[in-house]
Amino acid sequence: MIGERIRSLRESKGYSMTELAKHSGVSKSYISNIERNLQQNPSLQILAKVAQPLDTSVEFLLGIESEELAELDEEWIDLLKTAIDSGVTKRDFVEFQKFVKYKKWMENHPKEQRRKRPFG
């Protein structure tokens, strides 16, 4: 998804990958990996560098519409940016969600009900 947006914008601007790399300061190979979805979680810093010469926003590259972005609390946005910057992947986040769900389930069920584990 991110890669498709970058490729589309790059082509509409008439940039080659080499030109985008030069203007953004991001290596051609890394841009290629993003566009081919081999690199699916580029950092916000990388996205900001790529977004600038494409005259777009990081939010657009991420697929976050401005209305959706406005609905997010600033604190949540900062937490997400910090997590992404520290290397947390989407997969890590999903695992964390499963852990929290499991922990809440354990807290709300007596020991005798725990034999039926809903999470495998």
Kindly list the domain boundaries of the chain, sorted by start residue.
2-72
Q: What is the pLDDT of residues 50-108, one digit of tens each?
A: 999 999 989 889 888 665 655 666 777 788 889 889 998 888 888 888 898 888 888 88
- Amino acid identity of 118? P
pTM: 0.56
What distance, in Å, lies between the first and last C-alpha atoms of the chain? 31
Chain center to CA of 18:
24
- Token pair recorded at residue 65: 């519409």
pLDDT, tens digit (0-9, with 9 covering 90-100), for 7-46: 999 999 999 999 999 999 999 999 999 999 999 889 999 9
Query: What's the pLDDT at 59?
Result: 87
Q: 57: Cβ–Cβ under 8 A, 6 or more apart, which residues?
A: 51
Fold of 2-72: 434 Repressor (Amino-terminal Domain) (1.10.260)
Q: CB under 8 Å, gap of 24 or more: what pairs does 92-101 form? A: none
